[in-house]
C-alpha cells in the first residue's frame, strides 16, 4: 500500500529532466529557497569512491555510536524502502517526518526541473539540519564533483574509497578521469582519508589534495591495515591496534575498516569506537546471510546469502568472500541491469560456482533478460539456466542439491526485491 511519502516521491519523478545532466545549479537553487540547510549540519564526513563507500560509512557510524555519540547518515540507493536513505541520530526517518520534508522540498522547488536524486538529497539535508547529532555521514551518489551531496563548504573530513571503472557515461572513460570526478569532494584545508588506489587514480587524487592544501591520510603512507591470523591489525603514527575481524565479510572489508579507523582516530574519537567500528557495522545485501522469510521456509536445509554487488570489482570480492566459507556446493541466482559489465562481474566467480540460474529483476525496466544473463554465464564457462523467478530458480536448485549454498546476487535492485518480498 502506498504511503504519503510514496505519493510525493512519485510526484517528484515527474520533475526529472529527460536527460541527466550532472550539474549543481538546481540543487543550489533549491537549497537557497530552503534557507541553506547544508550549512546547519553537524560536522560532516563526506565519503566518495567506486567500491566500499557504503561499508566504510557503516563502520564510521558503528564507531561513532560505540563512542556514545550520535550520527546522521545519508546513503543511496535504498533497498526495500526509501526511508533507509536517511538516518537521523541513529534512527531511520519516520514516515510522517519524511512526508513533511519531501512536501516542503517539492513546494520550494516550485515545479522546476530537478532530478529525483537531487531533490531527495536536499530533503535528507533538510531533515538532518533540524535534528541534533554529533556527526553527519554523507555518501556520494555518483562521482563527486557534481554530485548533489557536494554542497558542504567545510566538512570535518573527506574520504575516498577505492576507485575503479564504473559509470563511464557520466564520469569518463578512464580510471584517471573517474578519479578526478571523485576528487571533487576534496575541500581546501580539509583532511582526506584515502584508501589504496590504482596508480593512475592515486596520482590524480593526491595532486588535487596537494593543490588544495588538504592534509593527506593515505593507506600505505600514513596508515596500514592487514589481516593476521584472522584478526585485523591497524597501524599509524600513533600506534598499533589488534582488533577482531570485521563483521562485514571479505578481505576488502579490512581495507574499508582501515579507512574508518584512520578517520575515527583523526577525529579524536576514543578507543571504544575502534572495536565497535569493526565488529558492530551492518550493511544489508553485502554478503548478508538470510535468516527468515519465504525463501528460507522453502529451503530449510540450504544456506542462502544475498549480495548486491554489480561490477567487476564486486565480482572479485564476492569470489574472495566465498573462499572464507566452509566448502559446500554453491549456486548463483543472478539478475543484472543492462548497464553493467556482466562478463567482468562473472569472470572471478566461475571457479567457485556449480551452476548459475538467471532471473530478470522483477519490476525493473533496465533488467537484463534472464536468457541474456544465462547466455553470458555460459560464455564465461558456467553451467547456466534461465528461470521465471527467484523462487522458481530456488526450486530448480533444490531438486539437485537440497543442502546447497545459494547466493542471490548481481544487482542492488534484485537485492531490494528480495528484502521487500522475501525477508
Domain identity same for 247 and 150: yes
Closest CA to 308 of 328, 288, 325: 288
Domain identity same for 169 and 38: yes
- CA torsion, ordered 253, 334, 385, 351, to nearest 10 deg: -10
Q: Which of 213, 245, 279 is the last residue of a domain?
A: 279
Domain identity same for 52 and 192: yes
Q: Write the DSSP string, 91-123.
A: EEPPHHHHHHHHHHHHHHHTT----HHHHHHHH
Helices 175-182/199-211 angle, 10° precision: 30
CB 349 within 8 A of CB 315: yes
Q: pLDDT at position 1, please?
A: 44
Domain identity same for 155 and 90: yes
Q: How many domains does the chain have?
A: 2
Domain identity same for 119 and 205: yes
Q: Which of 279, 300, 322 is the last residue of a domain?
A: 279
CB 401 within 8 A of CB 331: yes
H/E element holding 46?
Answer: strand 44-48
Domain identity same for 66 and 202: yes
Q: Name the H helices within 280-380.
A: 294-298, 312-323, 342-346, 370-379
Domain identity same for 218 and 307: no
Host domain of residue 407 = 288-421
Q: pLDDT at position 19, please?
A: 72
Q: Which of 279, 305, 322 is the last residue of a domain?
A: 279
- CA torsion, ordered 280, 283, 288, 290, to nearest 10 deg: 90
Helices 53-66/252-266 angle, 10° precision: 50
Burial class (CB in 10 A: 0-12, 13-18, 19+), 57: buried
> pTM of the predicted model, to two decimals?
0.89
Q: Write the DSSP string, 129-174.
A: HTS--SEEEEE-SSSSTT-TT---SS-SEEEE----S--HHHH-SS
Q: What gap in Å lies between CA 99 and CA 72, rounded to an integer?
A: 18
Q: What gap in Å lies between CA 135 and CA 130, rounded to an integer?
A: 13
Domain identity same for 229 and 118: yes
Domain identity same for 61 and 200: yes
Per-residue pLDDT of the chain (423 residues; tens, 9 = 90+): 456 899 999 999 889 886 777 789 999 999 999 999 999 999 999 999 988 999 999 999 999 999 999 999 999 989 989 999 999 999 999 999 999 999 999 999 999 999 999 999 999 999 999 999 999 999 999 889 999 999 999 999 999 999 986 666 667 779 999 999 999 999 999 999 999 999 999 999 999 999 999 999 999 999 999 999 999 999 999 999 999 999 999 889 999 999 999 999 999 999 999 999 999 999 889 899 999 999 999 999 999 999 998 888 889 989 999 999 999 999 999 999 998 999 999 999 999 999 999 999 999 999 999 999 999 999 999 999 999 999 999 999 999 999 999 999 999 999 999 998 876
Q: What gap in Å lies between CA 388 and CA 367, rounded to an integer?
A: 13
Residue 304 belongs to a domain with what CATH number?
A: 3.90.190.20
Residue 144 belongs to a domain with what CATH number?
A: 3.40.1190.10
Domain identity same for 368 and 322: yes
Residue 123 corresponds to which cell in the numbers above?
A: 530533503
Domain identity same for 237 and 100: yes
Burial class (CB in 10 A: 0-12, 13-18, 19+), 335: buried
Domain identity same for 308 and 328: yes
Amino acid at each position: 500500500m502506498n504511503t504519503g511519502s510514496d505519493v510525493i516521491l512519485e510526484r517528484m519523478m515527474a520533475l526529472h529532466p529527460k536527460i541527466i545532466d550532472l550539474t549543481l545549479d538546481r540543487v543550489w537553487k533549491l537549497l537557497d529557497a530552503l534557507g541553506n540547510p547544508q550549512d546547519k549540519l553537524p560536522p560532516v564526513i563526506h565519503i566518495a569512491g567506486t567500491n566500499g563507500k557504503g561499508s566504510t560509512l557503516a563502520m564510521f557510524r558503528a564507531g561513532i555510536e560505540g563512542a556514545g555519540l550520535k550520527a546522521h547518515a545519508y546513503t543511496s540507493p535504498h533497498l526495500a524502502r526509501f526511508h533507509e536513505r536517511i538516518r537521523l541520530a541513529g534512527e531511520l526517518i519516520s514516515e510522517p517526518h519524511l512526508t513533511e520534508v519531501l512536501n516542503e522540498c517539492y513546494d520550494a522547488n516550485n515545479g522546476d526541473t530537478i532530478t529525483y536524486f537531487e531533490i531527495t538529497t536536499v530533503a535528507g539535508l533538510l531533515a538532518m539540519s533540524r535534528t541534533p547529532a554529533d556527526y553527519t555521514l554523507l555518501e556520494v551518489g555518483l562521482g563527486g564533483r557534481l554530485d548533489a551531496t557536494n554542497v558542504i563548504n567545510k566538512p570535518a573530513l573527506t574520504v575516498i574509497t577505492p576507485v575503479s571503472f564504473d559509470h563511464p557515461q557520466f564520469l569518463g572513460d578512464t580510471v584517471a578521469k573517474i578519479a578526478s570526478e571523485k576528487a571533487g569532494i576534496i575541500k581546501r584545508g580539509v583532511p582526506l582519508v584515502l584508501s589504496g588506489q590504482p596508480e593512475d587514480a592515486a596520482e590524480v587524487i593526491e595532486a588535487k589534495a596537494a593543490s588544495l592544501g588538504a592534509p593527506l591520510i593515505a593507506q600505505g603512507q600514513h596508515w596500514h591495515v592487514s589481516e593476521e591470523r584472522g584478526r585485523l591489525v591497524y597501524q599509524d603514527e600513533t600506534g598499533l591496534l589488534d582488533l577482531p575481524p570485521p563483521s562485514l565479510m571479505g578481505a576488502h572489508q579490512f581495507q574499508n575498516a582501515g579507512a574508518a579507523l584512520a578517520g575515527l582516530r583523526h577525529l579524536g574519537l576514543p578507543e571504544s569506537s575502534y572495536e565497535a567500528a569493526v565488529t558492530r557495522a551492518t550493511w544489508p545485501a553485502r554478503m548478508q546471510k538470510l535468516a527468515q522469510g519465504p525463501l528460507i521456509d522453502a529451503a530449510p536445509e540450504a544456506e542462502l546469502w544475498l549480495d548486491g554487488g554489480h561490477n567487476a570489482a564486486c565480482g572479485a570480492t564476492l569470489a574472495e568472500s566465498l573462499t572464507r566459507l566452509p566448502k559446500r556446493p554453491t549456486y548463483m541466482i543472478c539478475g543484472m541491469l543492462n548497464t553493467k559489465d556482466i562478463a567482468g562481474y562473472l569472470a572471478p566467480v566461475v571457479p567457485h560456482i556449480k551452476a548459475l540460474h538467471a532471473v530478470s529483476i522483477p519490476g525493473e525496466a533496465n533488467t537484463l533478460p534472464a536468457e541474456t544473463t544465462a547466455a553470458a554465464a555460459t560464455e564465461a564457462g558456467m553451467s547456466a539456466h534461465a528461470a521465471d523467478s527467484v523462487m522458481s530458480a530456488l526450486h530448480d536448485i533444490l531438486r539437485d542439491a537440497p543442502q546447497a549454498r545459494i547466493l542471490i546476487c548481481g544487482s542492488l535492485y534484485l537485492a531490494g526485491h528480495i528484502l521487500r518480498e522475501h525477508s
